[in-house]
Amino acid sequence: MGEALSLERQAQVAHALRAFLPARAVLWEEEDTRPYECDGLTAYRQLPMVVALPETDEQVRRILETCSAMQVPVVPRGAGTGLSGGALPPGDGVLLSMAKFMRVLRVDARARTAVVQPGVRNAAISEAAAPFGLYYAPDPSSQIACTIGGNVAENSGGVHCLKYGLTVHNVLRLRGFTAAGEPVELGSHAPDAPGYDLLALAIGSEGMLVVVTEVTVKLLPKPQCAKVVMASFDDVEKAGQAVADVIAAGIIPAGLEMMDRPATHAVEQFVGAGYDLDAAAILLCESDGTPEEVEHEIARVREVLARAGATRMSVSRDEAERLRFWSGRKSAFPAVGRISPDYYCMDGTIPRKRLGEVLRFIGAMEKKYGLRCPNVFHAGDGNLHPLILFDANDAEELHRTELFAGEVLEKCVEVGGTITGEHGVGVEKINQMCVQFRPDELELFLAVKRAFDPAMLLNPGKAVPTLARCAEFGRMHVRGGRLPHPELPRF
């Protein structure tokens, strides 16, 4: 579209939205829209044509209705902390910020539920529930900033999800609208809502199926006490085996995390968590419950880890020390951000037994591409976060980083895992979707999308690649002399 034409379109859309939104809720001047040009994946940027900031359900409905009538793409956004570019704005569409939906509507202590608006921060839900001895379990590392709406879109996890589940396990009901502005209620305050499980389908759909305006979450009783064992290993694979041994002993820890030496070194400079800097890897294993239960489980965990070859172990003596042990893990990303101009965070999940093999592969890739890559790892559920260190101002280095990441994600698929455990596909991993899924499967995803959004206006171009895109990607990525999807026509 020519510049004059696109300016005209921008004016039309802004004018149409201004018919029912106040002036402060419709932004189109570059200085106002600039803050929305990217989410947590800053390598991808695009100025939105228009930003809309609704405050009521009715305004959301009318925005969607208006955009639907004008055939304008709409991209919903929470706090913009997402790491896969899921909220990357459309240059020819409306960025729908849900930031003003920030009220906790009610906490029902007796029913153990909270009804909140999508712009409420993840941590704010637990804060609101705390006076009742309750909390919201999923705790992504960005929990002080990320919103529940974004968590729903991405099916966010956290460090406690082996025991307490992901967003999909902790949300009871969503209310919102389809792309055309029709009201939907998915799930229910009663269990097992009738019909297909559209609640599960919407959670993790990366804002492509519905726009959510209200979320009911399940609250859990806060465990009376929690302790964490920090164990050192002189070999990463031994640490990996120790994780399998803990599970084999019938223990499901509240949290089970691993960090390799480069990661602990980066973190230690940043927060001083007290990590063993000589260890090749450290494990953090948390137990929660009643004091008796925790004592009992911690003793068993120590026994298993000792047998697995832990070279050093310490147990948090009080709550302050427990939080200090976790502080390093939770600040791993910003810590790495301090030792490198940029870092690229991967999110593959693998069967735990293939950990050694995948870590060796990542080591080989570090040499191949000449880039460093510390690893943090949700060990309990097999979710890897290798962090490739690079400098985005060096275009060649960025390119090498992308190739590095692509190879690691494809390795995850090869060993029976997935390209994304909790960060989502977004724009970032869309090419790797062509590796993980076959054309029939991708076609079915697109059909699901069309069932909710026949005009394909809600967050278009994210998460699910078109077959044409896969064909193009396949041409670029010849692996082992064989094209992926030889059955596809090539363009």
Q: Interaction with other proteins in 265-294: which residues (CB under 8 A)?
A: 289-290, 292-293
Q: Is 196 near other proteins (CB under 8 A)? A: yes
Beta bridge partners of 26: 52
Segment 24-83, which members bind other proteins (CB under 8 A)? none
In terms of CB distance, is 195 or 489 closer to other proteins?
195
C-beta of 160 vs 261, nearer to other proteins: 160
Q: Is 192 in the site for other proteins (CB under 8 A)?
A: yes
**251 touching other proteins, by CB under 8 A:** yes
Q: Confirm or reject binding of residue 244 to other proteins (CB under 8 A).
A: yes
Q: Which pair of structure tokens corresponds to residue 175?
A: 């209310």
DSSP sequence for 276-319:
-TT-SEEEEEEEEESHHHHHHHHHHHHHHHHHTT-SEEEE--SH
Q: What is the DSSP letter of 93?
A: S
Options 72, 115, 198, 470; binder of other proteins; rule CB under 8 A: 198
- Cα–Cα distance for residue pair 233/306, rounded to 1 Å: 10
**Alpha-carbon span 128 to 120, nearest angstrom:** 11
- Per the DSSP assignment, residues forming a β-bridge with 183 are 177
Burial zone of 453 (CB within 10 Å; 0-12 exposed, 13-18 middle, 19+ buried): buried
Alpha-carbon span 68 to 62, nearest angstrom: 10
**Binding residues for other proteins restricted to 455-484, rule: CB under 8 A:** 463-464
Half-sphere exposure of 371 (CA within 13 A, CB side): 27
Q: Which of 2, 131, 195, 486 binds other proteins (CB under 8 A)?
A: 195
Member of 45, 103, 106, 189 binding other proteins (CB under 8 A): 189
Residue (111 or 144) nearer to other proteins, CB = 111
- The nearest distance, CB 450 to other proteins, in angstroms, is 7
**Residue the block writes with tokens 């990590």:** 275
Site for other proteins in 380-439 (CB under 8 A): 380-383, 416-425, 429, 433, 436-438
Q: 82-111: which residues touch other proteins (CB under 8 A)?
A: 108-111
**Closest to other proteins by CB, 62 or 261:** 62
The contact pattern for other proteins, residues 304-333, with x = CB under 8 A and - = no contact, is: ------------------------------
Helix (H) or strand (E) holding 68: helix 57-70
Residues 6+ apart with CB under 8 A from 253: 162, 163, 246, 285, 286, 287, 297, 301, 380
Q: How many residues bind other proteins (CB under 8 A)?
A: 94
